[in-house]
Structure 1
Amino acid sequence: MARPTPLSGFPEWLPDGRLVEQHVLDVLRRTFELHGFAGIETRAVEPLDQLLRKGETSKEVYVLRRLQEEAGAEPDRAGTLGLHFDLTVPFARYVLENAGHLAFPFRRYQIQKVWRGERPQDGRFREFVQADIDVVGAGALPYHYEVELPLVMAEALGALREIGVPPVRILVNNRKVAEGFYRGIGLTDVEAVLRSIDKLDKIGPDAVAALLVAEAGADEAQARACLELASISGSDETVIDRVRALSGESNELLEEGLAELGALIRAAAVRAPGVVVADLRIARGLDYYTGSVYETVLVGHEQLGSICSGGRYDTLASDGANTYPGVGLSIGVSRLVSRLLSSGLVRATRSVPSAVLVAVSNEDARDRSDAVAATLRGRGIPVEVAPSAAKFGKQIRHADRRGIPFVWFPADEPGVPDQVKDIRSGEQVDADVSTWAPSQDDLWPRVVPA
């Protein structure tokens, strides 16, 4: 068989990379549960018409079809299934289907793979893991949840600092501020303005100004005002004053948005100082966001783009009679892990769980080695038995290649103690299978700064 060629955009980690990913997921899961979020999992597929109803292009969706279907047949979009490209649409459907069984406000976290047919590049994959948190209300959802969720994410990502993950900046804005400002200067196609502003990092201010004129109906003065608003940022309430000074005449929507943004800035200054920053260029081009919007960057790795984003939505989950507004954020776990590994920021202390290799003196005595391993495992110590009864030097080299720190030598005669060797230091001591244990640092693989 020819050597297989890797598929671009479908990451596969080596064992030590997988340990890093698992550690990140464990920290996120633990933080979310500390804040009362319940874990759920949704199916991998959704009807295609549901996946595309919020403006995503069909180019990004992988369609699910049976191989035996008639070649060349044009599928009925309503009856076709597609792999979900994020966890938001499946969650909205989940809420609608299970509303009678959920207690609102419903706090959910969800960690799953998603699939998106975009061009693979640094930090962007076609198959990747996301970790989402949302709070959804029935009919109404108080604003304070828009303050709470970015602070939960700040805590979750901050908990990863101990293993060498860089600090993060959570950039926040409020769509009411943006819409109130744009309408106040005479622009009515707010969605077109937001889509243009959302491209600032990709194409720059001159190209965005041209887009505002060509697609949002702005004149040069209005385009300039939009870019001036997008240039405002800061971590204190002077941001609010600068927006008011730029807007001139205020309006009810703008003032509501500024009050909400100010409340978030004040809370963040106390609970996550320096982490949450108001940034008026953050637009989040998707049309279902209605209040706070968030994007998160790794400090020193800003070129990677946002690793965590989201916002407030009021109509994403609605069956016509009932509406379930919510606020949520999503971490691109695969994007984060790929940067940690490719930049050598973190490492696993070993690539296998085993702390001990039990040596085998000869194949007739393998049952003795198996019994030692079983006893150690019963005490919570991860163990494997040597694959063959080779010379002890070869068994030690096997443990070294595997990254296993200890080798256990069962005694050949009754009354003679077993021995265990730390192959890193060379120290070898008598050991009792019922009492000996490795140190806490050696018991399981750890993820540490590189």
Structure 2
Amino acid sequence: MSGKPTPLSGFPELLPAERVVEQQVIDTLRRVFELHGFAGIETRVVEPLDRLAKGGEIDKEIYGLHRLQGEAEGRDVDPSRQLGLHFDLTVPFARYVLENSGKLEFPFRRYQIQPAWRGERPQVGRYRQFTQADVDIVGQGELGFHHDVEVMRVMVAAIAALPFPPVSFQFNNRKLIQGFYRGLGLTDVTAAIRVIDKLDKMPREVVVEQLTTLAGASPEQAEQCLRLASIRASDTSFVEEVRALGVEDDLLETGLTELAAVIEGCAAAASDRVSVEANLRIARGLDYYTGTVVEIFMAGYEHLKSVGGGGRYDALADDGKNTYPGVGVSLGVSRTVVPLVADGVLSASRSVPSAVLVALATEESRPSSEAVAAALRSRGIPCEVAAAPQRFGKQIRTAERRGIPFVWFPADAETNHHVKDIRSGDQVEADPALWTPPDQDLRPQVVVSPSSTIKETQ
């Protein structure tokens, strides 16, 4: 390749130190998910276009996939054979469940951390290629409500373990909303939900107007909808606030009970940086949510809107014999990590995994240095041998530039092995078969900006 390539917007590529941050976020998520018994899966990156597209039409955000040779020869044009890159992890997961239903044990507990592709206008927090982390439980025929509480609590616990700014889980329940609107006597409940979901994008008076024109609400009914949407609480006090509005409906009562259980269940996993709140404005625009819904927001990054979300869906997939209900929640890994790294909120203690640089006195002594490195690696200590036998001062500066905390000087005919902490200048005699660096130096650490109150995390 000749000449400097032109960058492609919307396809973030991280430098090594930035990748350290992303990888440790992913590792933390994986560790928490597996701690709760969720199995990791990975699906193919392509799906048939007719499965990806909504309503039989190809969505403008879907990236199509084709062979250049096949197109030139007039092949691969059969619509049933046309492929596209998945734009989320839900569509491939639904297909995965259908294809493997006879091999899976239900309820099936799954997590999936993979890239997805979406052809939208790139901007901060929105990329054409991005990594998501999903966690779901899917049943066959039925799925108990307690799984709603469990899945949401797992994601609360996972984010509480991450070095993020304060994060808020905003919960609601579609049964609560639908029951309230039905109890009000609205004729088009779905239209009302869609209008209320735009409250953060439109002035109040426009929302009232659309409730009347699109959802058939009277001015009094529209005001009641807005009163419901204004209720927020960090505990179950919202139940009495809703009942005080004077609307009665069995579905409403079910929604209130379920939402209260989710708030109480997730509160136990919350922390000083992760809060849980009932927010009766949250609706989630996707039609398939049928119960619990959640959106996740990160303090200081409100311009990103939600950085994650999900909910209960009673028909993830249907094979004609069985319906597969599920509940899940997704976190935008790229959506959170890339802006935090770009703003200097999160960084890495070093850009390489090596904790030790083994010095090289002469090219002839390379076997001795390699033997030291092998001894350290055999005990799980990441290290590397100096690239060239420069002066030791230069080799120390090389380690310093790369963030490697220790330099090892192999024994020779006159001296024993020594290891130097180049940060403090302390140098001690050491045995490569016994010496171990402090735990915090063994692997790169995620470092939080000093202006943040978040503690460092490994």
* Residue aligning to 2:252: 254
Distance in 1, Cα, partners of 2:372 & 2:391: 19
Once the two structures are superposed, residues 345-364 of structure 1 have per-residue CA deviations (whole angstroms, 9 ceiling, x without a partner) of 22211111111111111112
* Residue aligning to 2:67: 66
* Residue aligning to 2:104: 102
* Residue aligning to 1:159: 161
Distance in 1, Cα, partners of 2:302 & 2:280: 17
Distance in 1, Cα, partners of 2:263 & 2:402: 49
Cα gap change, 1:434 to 1:238, in 2 (>3 Å)? closer
Output aligned runs, 1:183-194, within 5 Å.
183-194=182-193
Once the two structures are superposed, residues 358-398 of structure 1 have per-residue CA deviations (whole angstroms, 9 ceiling, x without a partner) of 11111122112111111111121111111111222221221
Asked whether the 8 Å contact 1:54–1:288 carries over to 2, the reply is no
Once the two structures are superposed, residues 149-171 of structure 1 have per-residue CA deviations (whole angstroms, 9 ceiling, x without a partner) of 111111111111xx4x2222111
* Residue aligning to 1:123: 125
* Residue aligning to 1:426: 425
Distance in 2, Cα, partners of 1:56 & 1:197: 26
Cα gap change, 1:57 to 1:178, in 2 (>3 Å)? farther
Once the two structures are superposed, residues 295-343 of structure 1 have per-residue CA deviations (whole angstroms, 9 ceiling, x without a partner) of 1111333332212200000112111220010100001011110232123
User: What amino acid maps onto 1:16 in structure 2?
Assistant: A
* Residue aligning to 1:281: 281
Distance in 1, Cα, partners of 2:143 & 2:345: 39
* Residue aligning to 2:36: 35
Cα gap change, 1:447 to 1:271, in 2 (>3 Å)? closer
Structure 1 portions without partners, runs of 5+: none
Distance in 1, Cα, partners of 2:71 & 2:382: 52
Residue 323 of structure 2 is aligned to residue 341 of structure 1: no
- Which of 68, 79, 82 is matched with 2:81 structurally? 79
Structure 1 runs of 4+ with >4 Å offset:
54-57, 71-76
Asked whether the 8 Å contact 1:158–1:167 carries over to 2, the reply is no
Distance in 1, Cα, partners of 2:429 & 2:159: 44
Asked whether the 8 Å contact 1:128–1:333 carries over to 2, the reply is yes
Q: CA deviation at 1:130?
A: 0.6
* Residue aligning to 2:318: 318
TM normalised by structure 2 equals 0.92
Q: CA deviation at 1:71?
A: 6.2
* Residue aligning to 1:267: 265
- Which of 134, 155, 172 is matched with 2:136 structurally? 134
Q: Secondary structure at the match of 2:135?
A: strand
Asked whether the 8 Å contact 2:50–2:58 carries over to 1, the reply is no
Distance in 1, Cα, partners of 2:212 & 2:67: 46
Moved more, 327-336 or 358-367: 358-367
Moved more, 403-412 or 328-337: 403-412
Q: CA deviation at 1:401?
A: 1.4
Distance in 2, Cα, partners of 1:401 & 1:343: 22
Distance in 1, Cα, partners of 2:205 & 2:57: 26
Structure 2 portions without partners, runs of 5+: 450-458
Q: CA deviation at 1:344?
A: 2.1
Cα gap change, 1:54 to 1:182, in 2 (>3 Å)? farther
Distance in 1, Cα, partners of 2:3 & 2:201: 40
Residue 242 of structure 2 is aligned to residue 206 of structure 1: no
Q: CA deviation at 1:28?
A: 0.7
Aligned length: 445
Distance in 2, Cα, partners of 1:13 & 1:70: 34
Q: CA deviation at 1:217?
A: 3.1
Q: Secondary structure at the match of 1:373?
A: helix
Distance in 1, Cα, partners of 2:406 & 2:391: 16
Asked whether the 8 Å contact 1:422–1:428 carries over to 2, the reply is yes
Asked whether the 8 Å contact 1:55–1:286 carries over to 2, the reply is no
User: What amino acid maps onto 1:442 in structure 2?
Assistant: D
Cα gap change, 1:70 to 1:269, in 2 (>3 Å)? closer
* Residue aligning to 1:144: 146
Aligned-residue Cα RMSD (Å) equals 2.1
